[in-house]
Each structure stands twice: as C-alpha cells, then as structure tokens.
Amino acid sequence: MSLWDRLMGEFVDVIEWTADDGRTMVWRFERHGNEIKYGAKLTVRESQAAVFVNEGRIADVFEPGMYMLETNNLPLLSTLQHWDHGFQSPFKAEVYFVSLKRFVNLKWGTKNPIMLRDSEFGPVRLRAFGTYAVRVSDPAKFMTEIVGTEAHFEVGEIADNLRDLIVSRFANALAEANVPALDLARNYDDIGEFLRQRIDPQMQEDYGLELTQLLIENVSFPPEVEKALDKRTEMGVIGDLDRYKHYEAAKSLGVAAANPGAAGAGMGLVLGGALGQGAGGILNTPAPAAGAASGGAAPPPLPGASKPAGKLWHVALNGSPAGPYDEQQVRDAIAAGGVPSDALIWSPGMSEWRPAHEALNLGGSAADSAPPPLPKG
C-alpha cells in the first residue's frame, strides 16, 4: 500500500444517517476537520435529503439514493473549491441530513379565547385546539431560513412558531367560513382543510415546510355559555311544558300517596299547585267547589274571574279528601300512574264516594257542595 493510499484511508469514506429518533429534523454528520475522501460513498435513505455546505453556503442537495462523491457529481462544490476537472484530493464540506418524513400529532391551540360575531348568538368567545402534521418540502430553504448552523435540530424548536401561525389564521378562517357556532362540530373537517390551504403556501414560502394535515378536535364556548346551552337543550328535550308539568305532578302525587305520613292538604298542593298552565309560569290551584261550606275556609273567586268548566272532583288520599280538581287533572293523574284507577273520588251531586274508573262516567246535578264522609274501613 502506497503512502497516498494510507493517507486517503484516514479520511471518511462512508457518509450516512441511521439513528433517527423520530423528533430530529436535521442532523449534521460529524468528523474531524470536515474532510471527505474523494470517491466516498454517500447513502441517502428514503425520507432523507443530504445538504452539503461549503464555507457557509449550500453547495449541493442530494435526494434519496447512493452516490460516489466525485467532481463530476459535485458540480457546484467543485466550482466553489476551484477544482480542476479530475482533481482527486480530499475535500472539506459540512454534510447535513434533513428528514423528509411527516412529523405528526403536533399540538396547536388558542392561548386566549377568540372573539367572533356569530349569526345566532352575536358576539361569542371561542377556544379551539387540535393537531397538525408537517414535512420539509425544501431542504435548502429550511436550512437557510430555520436551521442555520445548528448541528442537531428537533421539531420542538419550531413547533411554537408553527402553532402561533395556525392560531393567528384560525379566527380569519372561521369568519370567512361563516359557519354558525352550533354547526362547527359537523364542519371540523371542512374548516380544517380550508385553514390548511390558507396556511400552507405561506409556510412553504417562509420556512420550506409543507403543512400536510390540520385537524380541529374541539371548539368550545366559555363555561357560562355552555351552561346556558345545556338549559336550552333541556327545554328542547322537555318539549310541551304544560304536558310535562301535568305528568310530573301526577307522578309526585303517586309517590306522596304511598307515604302514610303525608297529609291530605299536602297531597292537594301536589296535585293542584304543581300543575302548570302555559309557559308564563301561572300555576293551577285547586278550584273552589260550587257552594263551598261557609266559614271562610276558602276565599271567593276574584271579580271577573272565569268559572272553571266541567265537573270538580275530590280525591281520597290516605284517608283524607283533597281537592277539588277539574276532571282533566284527575284523568291525567290516573293516566300517569300517580293515582290508581280505583281510588275513591267524589263530585258535587254524587251521594257517595265511588272508584275513579266508575265515577268519571257518572253524572249528577245536585247542589250538594260538601263531600259525604269516606266509607269506614
């Protein structure tokens, strides 16, 4: 072996990068004096690019493949080194490997709520968060604009800048999309793609990066607005408020009737006072029986007040009469299971208490105003 061959053997003759940790975007191939053997083998794997830098200037960029480093495939570097054609001495250059794979599951989110004008709610404050993915599309620009001379560059070093860019464009994208706040959830994919298309050109031009994916995971209101929406949803589930109140009152009546310690007057309040009429908040109260006994137990009707239509009924609850109630109230209570169909009821004009399923089909026109005593036993 000649002295020249021994000297050439001291220089690097294999250049490659295999230790990818999943976070590194750029890695510099380290060697003493940056000297590379003429004819050295350069291996650039899939999802990589190799950038040669000479005296601070990008000389050549190699795509995936295997190369023999000679003057004929290093034209720009040969020019910078002032080589004559065929010059076969070792040369100096910095070699940077750039990862071209996609870096996924990067997080973005609004630090502060975004103020928007919604078509349904007016001014609203929204928070949003999601994920995105990027890849290096122009290794030379990425090296020039972002990496510089760093020997080891990870995606976390640029993630904050990319997140701020996304958030700054998010409000504009929502405004241009003109989607009502309540319809955002079903349009996450469309809005995310719209936002990606708006940001990607700027990211490629400024950083040499491609924004390959942008996902919106959630757009949320402030807690106070969410509580109000929950109440609105609850009202929508209830539906017909009047029927709902009748059902709840009848249901409560059945529970109270099963409690031996409950007083008849209390049962009356459950059946009569809890049954609402309309959304205005006016509650039905037990209607006064025609010709009620004197003694000031119940006030007379207000002047001009309309008289209740139909019969009025007293209901036997735990051995005590409660009421009176109109026929529909009693029927609703029976239908809802709050009052058994064989419960004893009485209406003015009847001579005795009768089971509800029978009495509701009976008539009567007598002027009796007070119910007779309940049957013993």
Q: In this predicted model, what pLDDT tens digit does every residue of 274-301 receive, in sequence order? A: 433 333 332 344 444 444 444 445 556 5
Residues 168 and 254 in one domain: no
Instruction: Tell me the CATH number at 146.
Output: 3.30.479.30
Please say if the pLDDT value at position 208 is more than 70.
Answer: yes
Please state the rounded mean pLDDT for residues 141-153: 91
Q: Domain for residue 369, yes or no? A: no
Q: Domain for residue 235, yes or no? A: no
Q: Which of 292, 282, 253, 293 is nearest to 269 (CA)?
A: 253
Q: Domain for residue 375, yes or no? A: no
Residues 157 and 204 in one domain: yes
Q: Between these two residues, 60 and 98, which has the higher pLDDT value?
A: 98
> So what's the pLDDT on residue 296?
45
Confidence of residue 90 (pLDDT cuts 50, 70, 90): low
How far is residue 275's CA from residue 283's CA, in Å, rounded to a whole number?
A: 6
What digits encode the pLDDT tens for the residues 47-82? 999 998 877 788 889 999 998 877 555 655 555 455
Confidence of residue 100 (pLDDT cuts 50, 70, 90): very high
Number of domains in the chain: 3
Residues 116 and 219 in one domain: yes
Q: Between these two residues, 220 and 10, which has the higher pLDDT value?
A: 220
Q: Between these two residues, 166 and 338, which has the higher pLDDT value?
A: 166
Residues 95 and 71 in one domain: yes
CB 134 within 8 A of CB 142: no
Among residues 62, 80, 99, the one where a domain terminates is 99
Residues 28 and 126 in one domain: no
How far is residue 80's CA from residue 82's CA, in Å, rounded to a whole number?
A: 5
Residues 257 and 353 in one domain: yes
Residues 110 and 221 in one domain: yes
Q: Which of 220, 210, 190, 211 is nearest to 129 (CA)?
A: 220
Q: Domain for residue 163, yes or no? A: yes
Task: Name the average pLDDT for the chain.
Answer: 74
Q: Look up the domain containing 323 and give its range.
A: 241-291+308-359
What digits encode the pLDDT tens for the residues 196-207? 999 999 999 999
Q: Domain for residue 296, yes or no? A: no
CB 63 within 8 A of CB 137: no
Residues 79 and 144 in one domain: no
Task: For CA atoms 64, 68, 70, 72, give the dihedral sign.
Answer: negative
What digits encode the pLDDT tens for the residues 316-332? 877 778 878 888 888 88
> So what's the pLDDT on residue 315?
87
CB 44 within 8 A of CB 85: no
> So what's the pLDDT on residue 364?
42
β-pair type (103-109, 122-136): antiparallel
Q: Between these two residues, 291 and 180, which has the higher pLDDT value?
A: 180
Least confident range of 53-57, 245-249, 312-316, 332-336 = 245-249
Q: Between these two residues, 340 and 256, which has the higher pLDDT value?
A: 340
> So what's the pLDDT on residue 273?
44
Residues 145 and 71 in one domain: no
Q: How far is CA 292 from CA 137, 323, 367, in A?
A: 92, 12, 10
Q: Domain for residue 170, yes or no? A: yes
Q: How far is CA 36 from CA 12, 29, 56, 89, in A?
A: 5, 11, 17, 9
Please say if the pLDDT value at position 369 is more than 60.
Answer: no
Residues 119 and 212 in one domain: yes
CB 144 within 8 A of CB 57: no
> So what's the pLDDT on residue 310?
66
Among residues 61, 76, 99, the one where a domain terminates is 99
Exposure string of 7-31, with b = 16+ CB inside 10 Å and e = fewer, is: ebeebbeebbbeeeeeebbbbbbee
Share of the chain above pLDDT 90, in %: 24
Least confident range of 16-25, 39-48, 244-253, 300-309 = 300-309
Residues 125 and 183 in one domain: yes
Confidence of residue 112 (pLDDT cuts 50, 70, 90): confident
Among residues 183, 200, 226, the one where a domain terminates is 226
Share of the chain above pLDDT 70, in %: 66
> So what's the pLDDT on residue 325?
85
Confidence of residue 143 (pLDDT cuts 50, 70, 90): very high
Residues 35 and 115 in one domain: no
Q: Domain for residue 13, yes or no? A: yes
Q: Domain for residue 299, yes or no? A: no
